Structure 1
Amino acid sequence: MLFEDVLEEYMYHCRARGFTDKTIKNKNQEYKQLKQFLKEKRAITELESITVHDLKAYVRVKQKDGLQAQSIVSMFKMIKAFFSWCEREGYIKENIAKKVETPKLPKKVLKGFTVDDVQAMIDAFSYKNYLEARNKAIIAMLSDCGLRAMEIRGLLSVNVKETNILINGKGNKERIGFISPALKRILIKYERLKKQYFQDKLTTDHYFLSYTGNDISHVALDNVIKEAGKRANITGKRVSPHTFRHFFSVQCILNGIDIFSLSKLLGHSELSTTQRYLQSLEDFELIEKAMPSSPLMNMRK
């Protein structure tokens, strides 16, 4: 079976699964490079002719080209996903990509936000105009709900309820997020200014809008978050949606939520993904969390 034909079928499978345009684009780009390598360097056009040695050679080429270890690992995950699908579909007997070693990555612990950091970033914006109120609401929701960047940008007004929000996550998987009274107070003020600002103006159905009434772009959201960090003088930490999501995760665990519930709140398909968020718990935080669960302390009650 032609490798090119199977790739085409797999990409339709990915689209049917609801993968984002960005993911589809990245996959297409990587598979195009792999197909070119196999055809020009290994004289292979048939899926069944690809061996472990061919895939290992492809990884070596990437390394010689100077591709960073993280990029190689990310790239090969896409290749492994393709061969895994081929195995499930019965096109190959086994996923040969599983036998290919990729570079080992050092485990980096994300230096997360403190409660004071987040409060300072929320307080960095006021209610003096629509954009200020919108930015405050964005930072507050990222902190209190743990949304991904694409999720907060795509959030629709109709899905923001009294005490919860309906989130459209990765792969079009829906989940519920909860609105605390503290967040609700900020959202009420934001909604009031939003209504005044866009009175008699056409807008999209998104909850957070640009000043022209359109949905917020990825760059615009990034600028809002960077501005929050700048105003609050946050240094030595990555100021990004991911770091807010990490803050949400750590605070949930410290406040007693079990990892299974947290994984559901975050919209993770794998529990291991959630566990990585917890590697940055500082020693003093672990002590505070461990103290109430001490068997001896509880026996004395």
Structure 2
Amino acid sequence: MSQIDDFLAMLAAERGAARNTILAYGRDLEQADDMVGGALESASPAQLARLGQGWASLAPATLARKVSSLRQFFGFLVDEGVREDDPTHALPRPATRRPLPKILSHEDIAALFERAETEASSGEKLAVRMLALLELLYGSGLRATELVSLPVSAVPRDAPFLTVTGKGGQTRMVPVSQRAKAAMSAWLPLRDADSAWLFPSRTGHLTRVRLFQLLKALAARADLPPEKLSPHVLRHAFATHLLEGGADLRALQTLLGHADISTTQIYTHVDAARLVKLVNERHPLARHRASD
């Protein structure tokens, strides 16, 4: 096997990378191998710099993917002791625009909850769990990993907050709505009482992959396109709909657990129409003209 094959095998075995991801990385690395004349694993910084020059006409997103493939490949070689140096400092640093998040309308959310609430009213265990998951994703803006890894100890008794451990091990307090609290109260007596997790599974806690599957199945039952729904999309809906309701961007940063306000500012693009209306209605000059 070549070093490229070894790297792709590691992606599949240790990182659980999707087949399409592995295929894309393989194409990028094989192309780079051809461009440097073979033996990519031995390429010098000068050769990688020429690679970047050859990719100058590519779209920023494509260039970013190729650079990422090479950075991970050479990082793997260093970790495996195949190389002592990492030559990827010679690669370009493409600036990519952060894509706008997918948006769920208020009507989409209403349809989703109507279906989940109807199913949960039966008292069936998995339906009650689904409603609790949905309430916490949309009502508190949790990340998928934060949600599935919630311990039972994080559930509030009196205070209306969850204690969540987010990226980088940072802990934050997340408000829990009355609706979400009611959904959790219905779920708690049904869960496995011996588990330390709020949403247990046979081997630990519910996985991110299973959460994705459950949401897409719920979307289909609610007559929504399954590809339109994911935990991240519900988190975006939480943020966008809060902004529409007049939430402060700094408060939203705290709720989402963003370390940098620039990450939160993407939502100002989503809600641009409301911001224009706000300036037209609330700016002092607008009020002055209205009184003339």
Query: Are 2:138 and 1:127 aligned?
Result: no
The alignment covers a number of residue pairs equal to 253
Q: Which residue of 2 aligns with 1:250?
A: 240
Q: Report the 3-state secondary structure (helix = DSSP H, G, I; strand = E; otherwise coil) of the residue aligned with 1:192.
A: coil
**Cα deviations by residue, 1:127-153 (Å, 9 ceiling, x for unpaired):** 321110100111111001111111111
Aligned equivalents of 1:295 and 1:180: distance in 2? Answer: 35
After TM superposition, the structure 1 = structure 2 runs for residues 163-178 of structure 1, keeping only pairs within 5 Å, are 163-178=160-175
How far did residue 122 of structure 1 move? 2.0
Aligned equivalents of 1:159 and 1:76: distance in 2? Answer: 40
CA root-mean-square deviation: 4.4
Aligned equivalents of 1:132 and 1:43: distance in 2? Answer: 52
Q: Which residue of 2 aligns with 1:294?
A: 283
Aligned equivalents of 2:181 and 2:135: distance in 1? Answer: 10
Gaps of 5+ in 1: 1-19, 84-90
Name the % identity.
20
Query: Are 2:224 and 1:234 aligned?
Result: yes
How far did residue 73 of structure 1 move? 1.7
Out of 147, 156, 165, the position equivalent to 2:142 is 147
How far did residue 231 of structure 1 move? 2.2
TM-score (structure 1 length as normaliser): 0.65
Q: Which residue of 1 aligns with 2:206?
A: 216
Contact 1:164/1:177, CA 8 A, preserved across alignment: yes
The letter of the residue matching 2:217 is E
Contact 1:121/1:229, CA 8 A, preserved across alignment: yes
Judged with a 3 Å threshold, the aligned counterparts in structure 2 of structure 1 residues 121 and 103 are, in CA distance, closer, same or farther, namely: same
Contact 1:147/1:266, CA 8 A, preserved across alignment: yes
Aligned equivalents of 1:60 and 1:206: distance in 2? Answer: 51
Worse-matched range after superposition: 113-122 or 37-46: 37-46
After TM superposition, the structure 1 = structure 2 runs for residues 191-210 of structure 1, keeping only pairs within 5 Å, are 191-194=188-191, 198=192, 202=194, 204-210=195-201
**Cα deviations by residue, 1:224-258 (Å, 9 ceiling, x for unpaired):** 11122112222497211111111111122223332
Q: Which residue of 2 aligns with 1:186?
A: 183
Out of 156, 161, 178, the position equivalent to 2:156 is 161
After TM superposition, the structure 1 = structure 2 runs for residues 273-288 of structure 1, keeping only pairs within 5 Å, are 273-281=263-271, 283=273, 285-286=274-275
Contact 1:145/1:178, CA 8 A, preserved across alignment: yes
Contact 1:153/1:215, CA 8 A, preserved across alignment: yes
Contact 2:148/2:207, CA 8 A, preserved across alignment: yes
Contact 1:42/1:54, CA 8 A, preserved across alignment: no
Aligned equivalents of 1:263 and 1:139: distance in 2? Answer: 21
Aligned equivalents of 2:129 and 2:175: distance in 1? Answer: 19
Contact 2:45/2:89, CA 8 A, preserved across alignment: no
Contact 1:112/1:247, CA 8 A, preserved across alignment: yes
Contact 2:132/2:184, CA 8 A, preserved across alignment: yes
Out of 246, 249, 264, the position equivalent to 2:254 is 264
Aligned equivalents of 2:147 and 2:99: distance in 1? Answer: 26
After TM superposition, the structure 1 = structure 2 runs for residues 16-95 of structure 1, keeping only pairs within 5 Å, are 37=33, 41=38, 50-51=45-46, 54-57=48-51, 70=61, 72-74=63-65, 76=67
Contact 1:165/1:179, CA 8 A, preserved across alignment: yes
Q: Which residue of 2 aligns with 1:115?
A: 106
